[in-house]
């Protein structure tokens, strides 16, 4: 099975509060809007392409606190609402409410592994969006800076993902406020196995995307957008040849 996915997401801060090391942690609330279109080519099974679209809106509360020279991150999914016509049942989305992720952002801006409090499959799909709230930007980064970041993560769904992203910082304004604008272009390599109704599935694929972040004076993400694609091949005993899948 081959999968080619397209994902678009936008993040924005609804409420922000100034924070400094001498003050207690402050909770910031983000609204996340995202849309996914997934196409599965079932020609190997005697069927044609199947397309599924999913759009959702979620609200996430993020708490940041000083810890060992970096920042301890706690993110909580306050709510998730699926769009009209979505194949995801509303009760499954509601079941993801309250999921909590814990992570750590080093003094260099590098975000480590996020650990979720639940294995809810819907929440697992949000992990990448939560991570995207914290681009790897070193404190003091100025306009004109460029750098490359490599991350290796393991998702709850069983995939190992290696992502290489090239970043560039420039000046900009957001709602009349001067901000640091960061642009990123990434490429991905993915592999892993998953258990499905028809048995074990091996997954291999690549992906890529672009993103833009607007950061405040304290390095906080004020707003961000991201779009990307993934092209996967899913194989197993259920099909005579790998099935292409994209989103």
Higher pLDDT pick, 21 / 52: 52
Q: How many other CB atoms are there within 10 angstroms of residue 51's CB atom?
A: 10
Higher pLDDT pick, 16 / 74: 74
Beta-carbon contacts of 85 under 8 Å, excluding residues fewer than 6 positions away, are: 53
- Give, rounded to a whole angstrom, the gap between the first and last alpha carbons of the chain: 13
Residue bearing tokens 């996340």: 32
Question: pLDDT digit string (tens) for 63-72?
Answer: 998 888 889 9
Q: What percent of the chain has pLDDT over 90?
A: 34
Q: How high does pLDDT run on average in the chain?
A: 81
Tell me the Ramachandran region of residue 131: left when phi exceeds 0, alpha when psi lies from -120 to 50, beta otherwise: alpha
Domain ranges, residue 9: 2-246
Per-residue pLDDT averaged across 166-181, rounded? 95
Task: Say what the pLDDT of residue 245 is.
Answer: 60
Nearest to 80 by CA among 135, 118, 109, 136: 118
Strand (E) or helix (H) holding 122: helix 121-124
Beta-carbon contacts of 242 under 8 Å, excluding residues fewer than 6 positions away, are: 1, 2, 44, 233, 234, 235
Task: Say what the pLDDT of residue 119 is.
Answer: 81
Q: How far is the C-alpha of 118 from the C-alpha of 62, rounded, in Å?
A: 17
Task: Say what the pLDDT of residue 7 is.
Answer: 38
Please tell me the total count of domains within the chain: 1
Among 57-61, 97-101, 125-129, 171-175, the minimum mean pLDDT is found in 125-129
Beta-carbon contacts of 49 under 8 Å, excluding residues fewer than 6 positions away, are: 39, 40, 41, 42, 43
Strand (E) or helix (H) holding 192: strand 177-196
pLDDT of 3 above 80: no
Higher pLDDT pick, 214 / 21: 214
Per-residue pLDDT averaged across 107-131, rounded? 85
The whole-model pTM stands at: 0.77
Place 182 in a pLDDT band, splitting at 50, 70 and 90. Answer: very high
Rg over alpha carbons for the chain, rounded to the nearest Å, is 19
Higher pLDDT pick, 9 / 86: 86
Task: Say what the pLDDT of residue 246 is.
Answer: 60
Task: Say what the pLDDT of residue 194 is.
Answer: 74
Q: How many other CB atoms are there within 10 angstroms of residue 21's CB atom?
A: 6
Question: pLDDT digit string (tens) for 33-64?
Answer: 988 877 776 666 666 677 777 788 999 999 99
Residue bearing tokens 């079932």: 42
């Amino acid at each position: 099975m081959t999968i080619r996915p397209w994902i678009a997401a936008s993040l924005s801060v609804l409420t922000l509060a100034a924070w400094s090391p001498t003050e207690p942690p402050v909770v910031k609330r983000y609204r996340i809007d995202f849309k996914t279109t997934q196409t599965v080519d079932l020609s190997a099974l005697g069927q044609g392409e199947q397309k599924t679209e999913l759009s959702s809106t979620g609200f996430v509360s993020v708490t940041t606190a000083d810890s060992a020279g970096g920042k301890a991150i706690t993110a909580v999914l306050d709510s998730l609402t699926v769009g009209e016509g979505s194949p995801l049942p509303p009760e499954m989305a509601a079941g993801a409410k309250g999921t909590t992720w814990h992570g750590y952002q080093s003094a260099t801006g590098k975000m480590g592994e996020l650990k979720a409090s639940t294995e809810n499959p819907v929440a697992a799909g949000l992990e990448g969006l939560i991570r995207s709230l914290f681009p790897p930007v070193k404190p003091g980064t100025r306009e004109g800076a460029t750098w490359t970041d490599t991350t290796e993560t393991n998702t709850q769904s069983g995939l190992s993902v290696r992502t290489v992203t090239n970043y560039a910082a420039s000046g900009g304004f957001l709602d009349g406020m001067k901000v640091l604008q960061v642009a990123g272009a990434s490429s991905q390599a993915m592999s892993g196995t998953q258990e499905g109704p028809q048995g074990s599935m091996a997954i291999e694929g690549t992906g890529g995307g672009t993103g833009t972040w607007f950061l405040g004076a304290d390095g906080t993400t004020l707003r961000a957008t991201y779009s990307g694609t993934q092209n996967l091949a899913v194989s197993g005993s259920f099909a005579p040849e790998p099935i292409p899948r994209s989103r």
